Structure 1
């Protein structure tokens, strides 16, 4: 299947401001890109990419005084299969974990394992280790928190989400990640595209999504505490310890968000596909003139 995805984001800045964006499709999915525009900026500014400590593709540029608009559009091939599941997957002993996985056992900015260690063992310590324990954590978080865009707060931690019982997808992910780490199960934060493919359409405006991955039997598996069902068409942008490591935009100075649009949907393969140069020309006419 083919998935059409992209974004249009604009920020206003009172002065020239350095920016780092983490909006590139992850290297794992780069081979699946069938068509794409270049990342367009208005006004046009030079940009360059680099790879961060977690293997994510980051883009650096400077927004001029007044702000900048960035836009991207692509078509990605996807298997059309739901999230992989292995109910027999087991936990690994900490002493047997790969060195690069150990960091995902530790507390981080939004995942305070020290605050939730006691509750985690009380809630999940009696459960059989492995897939069943991770799924029980995800089930608990899904039931514990109420989702709503009006609940969004950039500074909410996992412990605060647990106490307040509300949040957005990042809060669901942070809480489940924290509980997993408390139980010595490596877990990491993921953000990316997740459209309404194979599920009823959500009337709310499209947004990027956040979920988690847990390390079982030597492999990372996707779990989604907000939706708590296998989904089709996840396209990863970035992975890290928590949202601190993978902000969509990080500005080194004040800014305000003036435009935020995201799209991700299944594109009919039988439909006529506009070539990339036509998309670029269309965007250039309306955005960059």
Structure 2
């Protein structure tokens, strides 16, 4: 299967500044790109490319005086197996002392994931007696899927897992943050993922295409994909970035006053 991906994002700026974007396909999927990504910047501006501490591809754009807007565009085709997210009901939990040290940051509190207090108490009261491993993570996903109501109109960039838990509404990032937090409360490493996820293998959804957020947990000596918003295996996930939560993987960050003037995302199967 081939999936066409892309975006058209325009940001208005009011002064010389720097813009960081995290919009390239993750290095783990680089071999699947058919040809190359075609990211363009209008107007053409000096750009520095680098990997962040989580191994994500990032770019810093230098915005000089006289530039009032920056437009980022991409168009690429990515090979995908066409298989749904793998399911491994036998994947086991590891005791914290037995986990690889590289997973330990994903047990700790982070900007949007409060692994203490109210959520810690809730997690142990509700998931302690669930079979450890895959079944426990799935039980957490089932809870979050039922507990939160998806609503674009309620999106808020500052909402934390605890706030989402109390408000019972949010968008995909809020589903991911709450599920991640509950997993960490149960000593299961969990990390935030952002990427492309089109309506492949499901009925078309009546909403604008967007980037999506889901999460991964460490069970049975590897990372596994979970998605508390959709709560079913999906086809065609293309990872852009991974981190502790959304604060680590912003698609764009401007160091100064700015406004979003255009935001269009493409992720669809290429029909042969």
TM-score bin, normalised by smaller chain = over 0.9
2:27 maps to 27
2:12 maps to 12
1:92 maps to 94
1:219 maps to 222
Structure 1 segment 38-187 matched on structure 2, within 5 A: 38-64=38-64, 65-115=67-117, 116-187=119-190
Question: Cα deviation per residue 1:33-68 (whole Å; 9 max; x = unaligned)?
Answer: 003343111111121210000000001112343120
1:267, distance to aligned residue in structure 2 (A): 0.1
Question: Cα deviation per residue 1:180-217 (whole Å; 9 max; x = unaligned)?
Answer: 00000000000000000000111111000000001000
Contact 2:154 2:170 in 1 (8 A): yes
State the alpha-carbon separation in 2 of the partners of residues 213 and 151 from structure 1.
25
Question: Cα deviation per residue 1:143-193 (whole Å; 9 max; x = unaligned)?
Answer: 000001101000000000000000000000000000000000000000000
Structure 1 segment 202-217 matched on structure 2, within 5 A: 202-217=205-220
Is the counterpart of residue 263 in structure 1 residue 266 in structure 2?
A: yes
The TM-score, its normalising length taken from structure 2, stands at: 0.97
Question: Cα deviation per residue 1:22-41 (whole Å; 9 max; x = unaligned)?
Answer: 10100000000003343111
Contact 2:176 2:192 in 1 (8 A): yes
The TM-score, its normalising length taken from structure 1, stands at: 0.92
1:17, distance to aligned residue in structure 2 (A): 1.5
State the alpha-carbon separation in 2 of the partners of residues 153 and 127 from structure 1.
32
Contact 2:155 2:170 in 1 (8 A): yes
1:220, distance to aligned residue in structure 2 (A): 0.5
1:239, distance to aligned residue in structure 2 (A): 0.1
**Helix, strand or coil: the match of 1:231?**
coil
Aligned residues between the structures: 269
State the alpha-carbon separation in 2 of the partners of residues 15 and 108 from structure 1.
31
Moved over 4 A (4+): none
Contact 2:38 2:76 in 1 (8 A): no
| Structure 2 stretches lacking a partner, 5+ long | none
For 2:254, which of 241, 244, 251 is the aligned residue? 251
Contact 2:195 2:240 in 1 (8 A): yes
**Helix, strand or coil: the match of 2:35?**
strand
Superposed CA RMSD in Å reads: 0.8
State the alpha-carbon separation in 1 of the partners of residues 247 and 194 from structure 2.
12
